[in-house]
Amino acid sequence: MSAYPPTSAAKALGLLAVVAPLAYGGYYALAQQTHVVHTKSYYMQHIAEQTARLEWCNDNPGIARQDPDCQAAVAAHIGW
């Protein structure tokens, strides 16, 4: 424990460390709620949308592993 009280900058940094992840989590949850998940058959019929989704999935691999829309686009692309 420090002998000196925390400065306002240290307090702000501590607050930012708590608020930033919560804000990102809220944004991600909102984005997931407004996104319509398509099926494999949809992506087989809509090649432009399939290509766009595959590009997004490739740019966001951490999220894409859990995203059912990415899984459907990949399945349509490789013909599962």
Q: What is the pLDDT of residue 19?
A: 47
pLDDT per residue as tens digits for the range 2-44: 566 667 665 655 545 554 555 455 555 555 567 789 999 999 9
Beta carbons within 10 angstroms of residue 38's beta carbon: 18
Q: What is the pLDDT of residue 28?
A: 58
Position 76 pLDDT exceeds 90: yes
Q: Full-prediction pTM beyond 0.75? A: no
Spacing of C-alpha 14 from chain mean position:
25
